[in-house]
Every structure is written in C-alpha cells, then in structure tokens.
A = this chain, B = another copy of it.
Amino acid sequence: MHIHGYTFGQVASGAVSADELGRLCDSVLFGDDDRAALRRAGELLDDQIDALLDVWYGFVGSQPHLLKQFSTPAGAPIGDYLDKVRGRFGQWVRDTCAADYGDDWLAYQHEIGRRHARAAKNTTDGADSTAYVPMRDLIALIVPITVTVRPFLEGRATADDDVDAMMGAWLKAVVLSVALWSQPYVADGQW
C-alpha cells in the first residue's frame, strides 16, 4: 500500500550518531527484553491500528489546541491533511514496534521531527496550517499515545503474554521517539 509522504529508507542520515542513539537508549532503560516486547506488541496491534488511530484522532479532535495543528489559519480542519498524516501515523506504530534502530530508522526519526517543527511542517502534504506543533504538546502527547494502547494489547493478549512488559517497552519507545523528534526545535546546541 502506498503511504503518501512516507520516505523511510530515503532520508539522508547523519543528524544523530549511532553512539548518541545508544546513550539515549541507556537513558530510557531500553534493553533486549523491550525489543522483544515491542515485537510482540506489534503482532497484537497489527490489525487494530485503524481502531487505535480512531482513538487518537478522537482525542486530538476533542482538543481545540491540538486540532488547530491540522487546521487552516481560519480554524477549519483540513481533511486531506488529517488523512495523509493518518496513513503515516499508523505506519509509525508498525515501524516503532519493528524498529531495528539502524541508520534508516534513525534518519527517518529526524525527518519526522522536522515535519512537526518549523523546518518542514505542512510541506509533505501541502497543507495551509500552523507553522509548527509546539514542543510542549509533542512532549505532552507521550501520555495519551502511551496509555491508550493498553486496552488494545489486553484485548488480544494470550495467557503467555505480559501486557505490563509490552506497555513498559511502548512507553520507552514513545519517549525515545519524542527525544529524537525534539532535535529540530532546540536552540544553541542544547539538544
């Protein structure tokens, strides 16, 4: 399936080194157990991603200050922009659960950050919308993007599955993503 603007594997790398990523993984306590738990979470979520996106889009749609980031300057939500982001957002869930933390993955995280910041918001989808997603909201959304996943995992988990371990790994993966995405926002070399 073609996903508009999904350029994983086509982005130049180099903004963040593998060593820096390794230290960041240490900071979020990410280990091999988490990688395995994410793989299993990906299996459980795979055919539920549309329903998960419905929950996330419902939340964003209910919060005017968040919906604004998908709206025109006059305040009208842009359906085409919402749809195109949705396709990539779903793929991000899959990619996050399957991540190998290699150069392509790392380079694409940097690109995702740019697409939230002034550097490149709106450009992928030709949207007439706000100039950036505020850094504070990008950080804050760690919570809803994390906690809303639990019922989807619980609904499919078998007796052998450890949902708490999957949730712990998912939290680490989301925080890691946001830490990487923050780079284009930060001033004076403080990233």
Contacts and interface: CB of A to CB of B under 8 A. Distances in A.
Q: Which of A140, A179, A191 has the most CB of B within 10 A?
A: A140
Contact of A142 (B66, B136, B175, B191): B175
Interface of A, helix, strand, loop or mixed by DSSP: helix
Which of A28, A65, A142, A185 is the most central at the interface, judged by chain B CB atoms within 10 Å of its CB? Answer: A142
A176 B188 CA distance: 23
Interface stretch (A19-27, A77-85, A100-108): A19-27
Interface of A: 20, 23-24, 26-29, 63, 65-66, 117-118, 132, 134-137, 139-144, 146-147, 168, 171-172, 175-176, 178-180, 182-183, 185-188, 190-191
- Which of A27, A63, A117, A187 has the largest count of B CB atoms less than 10 A from its CB? A27
B187 A136 contact: no
A140 B27 contact: yes
Given A136-B180, A139-B178, A182-B139, A66 B27 contact: yes
Given A147-B168, A175-B143, A190 B135 contact: yes
